[in-house]
Amino acid sequence: MDFKLDEAQREIAALAADVLGRESDTPWKALGETGLLALAVPERLGGDGLGVLETAVLLTEVGRKAVDVPALATLALGVLPIVRYGTPGQQDALLPLVTEQHGVLTAALSEPSTPFPPKPATTARREGSGYVVSGEKINVPHAASAHRILVTATTDQGSVVVVVDPAQPGSSISDSSVQLTEAYGEALQEGAAEGLRRFALAGACAVADGVLAGALDLTVRHLGTRHQFGKPLATFQAAACQVADVYVAARTLHLAALSACWSLDDNDLDTAAYWLAAEALPAVHTCHHLHGGLGLDITYPMHRYYGMAKELTRFVGGVEHRLGAIDVH
């Protein structure tokens, strides 16, 4: 199976790398102004009408540069599910928040001690044309800056995704936790809960793919230019073996992430998410170690890669949860 990027996807990657590489003050706004936040938005709303793979290419470049922007939250947890499961009216109301205002969307999927529950403890009941939602959510990316939060909840008929405005009564946000008490919102169409879970895992794996590739590239450059005993560190066998291990982890995650984003199949997604949880953070830790004291310098980017790998591991639920998900399937 050929997972090579096509011409349009290569152009997206190149443009994203250029924008993120030169824009240090307002990278999120810069991504919006170049049209990269509108990749998956329907053409009738001024977008490109593209899909998951093109969004994943952008997310990978965000990870590769280790830039702290709400791309995973807004694009994978917001735009993609709204495009797929939102009504035309919901799309008209929500997507311009991103494309025109460069606002932030996110989703609340996990609950205390329960990552990505198939039947959330958070409940929703019908009221008028919408739903009233109550429950506690954790690990909500960029919750404090979100204009809307997509909340998974359980009703008498099954799981739904309710779009909640956190500025309205009933929502309380602390860091990445969201407490909902009779918060009102509109539900996306049937199937949104399962679709949102798939988009979330695919997006996280795409970002992690970039994070590990970027950390590896930074480490290889460091070892090639830093000398000890008159020789580049890259010539030392111990360092070369550790870099080789990181390379294997990075290439495997890359292929797993591409497969997951291409198919959105549960087996592919769970495999990629497990590899993220089990291997990404240890591999970045190795890169950190190979930098020595330089890796601790806050002006050097290594700490950003480590922080992102740690957050992504937490977001997908950790190693044991991801292994359990594979066993279920």
Q: Is the dihedral of CA 165, 171, 175, 177 positive or negative?
A: negative
> How many angstroms separate the CA atoms of 22 and 5, rounded?
23
Return the pLDDT at 326: 84
Asked whether residue 91 carries a pLDDT value surpassing 60, the answer given is: yes
Strand pairing category for 105-108 and 148-155:
parallel
Q: How confident is the model at residue 5 (pLDDT cuts 50, 70, 90)?
A: confident
HSE-up of residue 56 (Cα within 13 Å, Cβ side): 27
* Tens of pLDDT, residues 245-272: 999 999 999 999 999 999 999 999 999 9
Of the candidates 187, 154, 183, the residue with the CA atom closest to the CA atom of residue 86 = 187
For the chain, which domains are there?
7-103 (1.10.540.10), 106-190 (2.40.110.10), 194-328 (1.20.140.10)
Q: DSSP string covering 198-230, please?
A: HHHHHHHHHHHHHHHHHHHHHHHHHHHH-EETT
Return the pLDDT at 226: 77
Return the pLDDT at 2: 62
Q: How confident is the model at residue 327 (pLDDT cuts 50, 70, 90)?
A: low
Is 176 within 8 Å of 220 (Cβ atoms)?
no
